[in-house]
Structures are given as structure tokens and as C-alpha cells.
Amino acid sequence: MSSRLLVEASFSIEHRTVARSNFELPAQSDFLLLHVLKSQFSTLQSGASLLANPNQAARLKLDRRKTELLLVRLKPELLIETATRLRLYQTGAHLLFRSPMTPVTEDHRLRQTLESILAELENGAAGWREVIRSLVNQLAVYLLREHINVRRSDEMELSRAGLVDRRLRRAVEFMHDNCGRELSLSEIAAAAYLSEFHFARLFKKITGLTPHAYLAGLRIERARRLLAESDMAIVEVGAMVGYASQSHFTKVFREATGMTPRAFRQALANQ
């Protein structure tokens, strides 16, 4: 169940309640902040945050009763633009969280900023969107100061698909461009000029995911954007991201987001 949503071009915010012990968010091209609002789980208490880099899946073990989460997704372009303004970024550098998926428990400023974002999202007072945009910009600056390494790398580069390893860039862009149809491993590997075996092994080593698991996450993220930014019928959205059957699309979307596509769109409309 999710009570509030905000989806914008450079970021998205989601307040979600989870009532299961195993929780997983598929890898996507955004930076992800997952903040625990209420939980009884012994190793992930209320107030803790987890930070996930682009193309990194987030897997958690939670309290079976109910755990409230705040999910903040930041586009790499937002952080790169901010780093450029601060003169922290140069062409050829890459940005990555220093300690991805390690609980952050003592950062009171991070916690305060995330919970201020949640308060604006929940209260919906006059100007709440503008306040959230301001808080997200402050959050980007703070993350660059305290939680992100900016390093030059010959392996990473910025592409249409975000920050990717240059050895995988062509294949990742191919998946982004063709996620609306069935893709075989041989097609994806060919885009990187590699054999299926070597491509699958390299992709899993670099991203921690199989190519088709990455593709599934990409389809869900695109579906979220289409549901938020267009008036397309749900069946059309499903077809646009590669699901000919609306029931199959609904099942996959719900497994990934905790909501049906209709409930997701309704949560946005309620704002």
C-alpha cells in the first residue's frame, strides 16, 4: 500500500507501507534513498536509511507486521548538474554512494531532510511541491558533500541510460530503446559486440543482475513514468513496456511496486 506519490522529471517520492518480510526493489537507473519510518526489525530500526546506486537492486528483510518506508529516487542528471554547479564534477568523472546498502543510522541531517520531505508530501499545504523541490535540491547538495564520491573513471560514462560501465553502454542503451518488445539474450549481447556467455557473465559481475532482470526493472520504471506523465490507458502503458496482457502487466507491476497500475495512478490523482 502507498499513501502518497510525487513523480517529477528529475526525482520521485513515494511513501509506502510494506507488510511482508522479504522486500525487493528491482535495479533502475536512478539513485535510490530508502528511509525507514516505522519498523520493529532489530537490525533496521526506524530512522535508518539505505542508499543504492544506479543499477543496484535493493533487498531488505523487514518486520512481517508493517514497515513504513519513504523512497526517494534521484535522476543521475540531477546530481551531475548539482555537482557541476558546485565545481565538483568534470567530464569523465562518475558519482557513486560511498557505502551502498549499508544502513545509515547516525546522520541526523539526512534524516531530518527526508522527514521534512515526507511532511510536505503528507500535509499538502499551499506550495508543497515547490517546498519539496527545494528540499530535494538541498538533499542533492548534502549527498554530494557527505555520501557520494566523485571520481574520474575510465570505465564509467554518462549515456542516455544514465551512468553506465562503458563496456555495457551499447547494450544498456539498446535495452532502453527496445524495452517495449521481447528481447533475446543474443540480441542484447550483440549490441555490446560480445558472445552471449561473456556478456551475461560481465553484466552480472558489474550490475549484480542478469540482463533480463535489469530489463524487467527498466520496464517497471518506464511504466511508472508513463502512468504519472500521460493519460494513456493502462493496457496501452503495459503494451508500451512489453506486456501484451494487461493481467500480466498488473501482476508484474504489483510485485515490483506493491500497487496495481490503477492504484498507482489513483494515488497520484488524489494529490
pLDDT tens sequence across 75-91: 988 998 899 898 887 66
Question: What's residue 256's pLDDT?
Answer: 81
Whether 108 has a pLDDT exceeding 60, the answer reads: yes
Residue 66 vs residue 244, higher pLDDT: 244
Over residues 63-74, the pLDDT tens digits come to 666 788 899 999
Question: What's residue 209's pLDDT?
Answer: 80
The closest alpha carbon to 212, from 244, 169, 183, 189, belongs to: 183
CA gap 21, 35 in Å, rounded: 16
CA gap 257, 247 in Å, rounded: 15
Residue 84 vs residue 132, higher pLDDT: 132
The DSSP letter of residue 126 is T
Domain boundaries, the chain: 2-152, 167-269
H/E segment holding residue 225 = helix 211-229
CA gap 219, 257 in Å, rounded: 12
φ and ψ of 197, to 5 deg: -60, -50
Q: What kind of fold does domain 167-269 have according to CATH? A: Arc Repressor Mutant, subunit A (1.10.10)
pLDDT band, residue 62 (cuts 50/70/90): low
Cell of 3: 499513501
The two domains 2-152 and 167-269 share their CATH topology (first three levels equal):
no
Q: List alpha helices for 46-195, DSSP H.
A: 76-85, 108-123, 128-146, 169-177, 185-191
Q: State percent of the chain over pLDDT 90.
A: 41
pLDDT band, residue 254 (cuts 50/70/90): confident
pTM: 0.78
Q: What is the mean pLDDT of the chain?
A: 85
Residue 214 vs residue 186, higher pLDDT: 186
CATH number of the 2-152 domain: 2.60.120.280
Over residues 17-57, the pLDDT tens digits come to 877 667 777 777 789 999 988 766 545 678 889 999 887 77
pLDDT band, residue 165 (cuts 50/70/90): confident
Q: Residue 153: how many CA atoms within 13 Å on its side-chain side?
A: 16
Whether 110 has a pLDDT exceeding 80, the answer reads: yes
CA gap 41, 43 in Å, rounded: 6
pLDDT band, residue 154 (cuts 50/70/90): low
CA gap 212, 203 in Å, rounded: 10
